[in-house]
Amino acid sequence: MADTRPLSPHLQIYKWQVQMVTSILHRATGIALAVGTLIVLWGLIALASGEDAFNQFKICMGSPIGMILMIGWTWSFFYHLCNGIRHLVQDAGAGYGIAQFVRSSWASILASIVLTLIVWGYVLSAGGAA
Amino acid sequence: MSAKTKDLRHPLKRARGLGSAQFGVSHWWTQRVTAVALIVLGLWFAILVLGLAHSDFATARAAVAKPWNAVLLIAFIVCMFWHAVLGLQVVIEDYVHTRWKEVFLLVAIKFLAVLSVLFCTLAVLRIALGA
């Protein structure tokens, strides 16, 4: 691509609003989850390989870095899920009023945070590392 | 046109519905279908993992070995990697502007996803069949 071509206004030009945050986060969490698929791959291979491999997997996931990553992936999962449902509703042609658009954006964000808190409340209260 | 003289279809017939990407709406549509599947399978998977969060090796293996769990797990894996490839493809097409890097990445994520699906499926089958 030639560098001299004019560019359309990009992110820094616009005033921040919640609809644009949900759109960007959908893509960002999608990329994060695509990387997270490799954890599913690792976990299943470890489970099939034997007890030592599986315990090593559990130790890694239960380490501080592992837990931080898992909390991140949990939120990414719930956010992409909630906002994905929102997108499917919009693909069906509903919810396009500006007020509805803003409201459903906040609903996706809040629901994903609440679900993440519930899950990690459960995981941590049930004892032991994830 | 000379190479196409044996094609009796009207050029418009060949082009209609395909759009500039030449794949029509198949990418968009498949992304939505896998998304709907992943709503159900993703929630099911989250519940399965939560139930096993503090369990030992034998319990986790026994859970995955159950026929319903094994089948749904494979379905989840296929949908997850497929949906991931479709999503990453759009991201790469949007942001990677050097053609050879773009093509390399587009092919690489497909190879990686297919290999991952095969590895995951083999792992589930080994557990389910007690190998």
* pLDDT tens, position by position, A46-62: 999 999 999 999 999 99
Q: To the nearest whole percent, how much of chain A has pLDDT over 90?
A: 77
The mean per-residue pLDDT over the stretch B39-53 comes to 95
- Choose the most confident range, by mean pLDDT, from B55-59, B74-78, B94-98: B74-78
Contact indicator for A1, B97 with CB cutoff of 8 Å: yes
Residues A86-129 pLDDT 10s: 999 999 999 889 999 999 999 999 999 999 999 999 999 876 54
CATH classification of B10-128 is 1.20.1300.10, yes or no?
yes
Q: Which residues contact A38 (CB under 8 A, 6 or more apart)?
A: B116
Mutate to test the interface with A, among B28, B30, B83 (most CBs of A within 10 A): B83
> B57–A47: do the CB atoms touch at under 8 Å?
yes
CA distance A107 to B24: 33
ipTM: 0.87
- pLDDT for B47: 96
- pLDDT for A54: 95
Domain A19-125 - what CATH class?
mainly alpha
For residue B84, list chain A residues with Cβ-Cβ distance below 8 A. Answer: 30, 33-34, 37
Going from N- to C-terminal start, the domains of chain A cover: 19-125
Backbone φ and ψ for A122, nearest 5 degrees, come out as -65, -50
CA distance B72 to B57: 20
CA-CA-CA-CA dihedral for B11, B12, B17, B21, to nearest 10: 50
pTM of this structure: 0.87
Nearest to B126 among A27, A31, A48 (CB): A48
Shortest distance, CA B94 to any CA of chain A (angstroms): 12
Helices (H), B52-98: 57-65, 67-95
Shortest distance, CA A85 to any CA of chain B (angstroms): 8
Question: If we measure between CA atoms, which residue out of B19, B2, B71, B91 comes closest to residue A34?
Answer: B91
Going from N- to C-terminal start, the domains of chain B cover: 10-128
Q: Which two tokens stand for residue A18?
A: 């919640």
Nearest to B50 among A55, A84, A119 (CB): A119
